[in-house]
């Protein structure tokens, strides 16, 4: 039999504790196939099962338990004459090893999931659409900017296309833009100093050079 197919040298396996009903005779053993081994032992007909657990390095655990209770071992066999207290100690040792096996299995499962995730991410385009806020989420955000600006997931390109029509016209016409920034008073000043001379010049040109008296 190959080395890795032997329970004594396997990394994972099953350890069991069975007993003869009505006696203190117990067996501590290991196997890679509990279904087959339980049939060989006559579980349910000859012996009863106390504990069956998956553990790491079952051979080491079995050897340690056999060494711990070597004084109770029946010669030339793997059977032991154990008291109730000793049976409790065996069960505690097996349960502790089983918990370690459970943690190890969970770590392997998480590692496998992580590897699959990395492989998936490296071979396919990663989309972040599912983590971007929706328009509804944005409207509930207390720090949103001034009203009228349209929310967009892709703000690239011309920003003006996201503005209302009145803001577009204001940004296009310099005078209206100047009025928006500095108020109506300065707007009137600009009209007096720049627009009135232009009108006077136009009137003089049309009337043959005579300018109106102001």
Tell me the per-residue pLDDT of 64-92, one tens digit each, with 9 for 90 and over.
Answer: 999 999 999 999 888 999 999 999 999 99
Residue 175 CA to residue 104 CA, distance in Å, equals 74
123 confidence band (pLDDT: 50, 70, 90): low
Residue 151: pLDDT over 50: no
According to the model, what pLDDT value does residue 206 have? 72
What's the burial of 72, exposed, middle or buried (CB within 10 Å: 0-12/13-18/19+)?
A: middle
- The span from the first CA to the last CA of the chain, in angstroms, equals 122
Residue 109 CA to residue 188 CA, distance in Å, equals 77
Q: Which residues touch 23 (CB under 8 Å, ≥6 apart)? A: none
Give me 42's structure tokens: 């006559």
Tell me the percentage of the chain whose pLDDT exceeds 90. 36
The residues that bridge with 79 in the sheet, in sequence order, are: 27
Is the full-model pTM beyond 0.85? no
The residue length of the chain stands at 214
According to the model, what pLDDT value does residue 6 have? 87
Adjacency order of strands within the sheet including 25-31: 48-56, 12-19, 25-31, 79-81
DSSP 129: G
Beta-carbon count within 10 A of 63 CB: 13
Mean pLDDT of 28-52: 94
According to the model, what pLDDT value does residue 76 have? 85
Helix (H, G, I), strand (E, B) or coil at 201: helix
14 confidence band (pLDDT: 50, 70, 90): very high
Mean pLDDT of 8-37: 94
Mean pLDDT of 87-106: 86
According to the model, what pLDDT value does residue 101 have? 80
DSSP 73: B
Is 128 or 103 the better-scoring residue by pLDDT? 103
The residues that bridge with 56 in the sheet, in sequence order, are: 12
Closest CA to 72 of 36, 25, 107: 25
34 confidence band (pLDDT: 50, 70, 90): very high
| CA-only gyration radius of the chain, Å | 45
Is 194 or 161 the better-scoring residue by pLDDT? 194
DSSP string, 107-124: HHHHHHHHHHHHHHHHHS
Is 14 or 118 the better-scoring residue by pLDDT? 14
Residue 179 CA to residue 185 CA, distance in Å, equals 9
């Amino acid at each position: 039999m190959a080395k890795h197919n032997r329970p004594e040298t396997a990394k994972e396996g099953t350890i069991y504790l069975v007993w003869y009903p009505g006696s203190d005779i117990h067996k501590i053993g290991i196997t890679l196939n509990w279904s087959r081994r339980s049939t060989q032992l006559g579980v349910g007909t000859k012996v009863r099962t106390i504990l069956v657990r998956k553990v790491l390095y079952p051979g080491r655990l079995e050897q340690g338990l056999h060494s711990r209770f070597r004084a109770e071992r029946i010669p030339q066999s793997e059977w032991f004459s154990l008291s109730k207290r000793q049976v409790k100690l065996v069960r505690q040792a097996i349960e502790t090893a089983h918990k370690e096996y459970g943690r190890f299995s969970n770590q392997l499962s998480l590692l496998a999931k992580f590897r699959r995730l990395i492989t998936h991410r490296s071979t396919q385009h990663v989309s972040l659409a599912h983590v971007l806020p929706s328009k509804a989420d944005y409207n509930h955000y207390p720090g949103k900017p001034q009203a009228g600006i349209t929310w967009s997931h892709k703000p690239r390109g011309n920003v003006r296309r996201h503005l209302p029509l009145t803001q577009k016209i204001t940004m296009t016409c310099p005078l209206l833009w100047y009025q928006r920034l500095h108020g109506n008073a300065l707007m009137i000043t600009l009209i007096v100093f720049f627009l009135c001379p232009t009108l006077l010049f136009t009137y003089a040109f049309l009337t043959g050079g005579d300018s109106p008296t102001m």
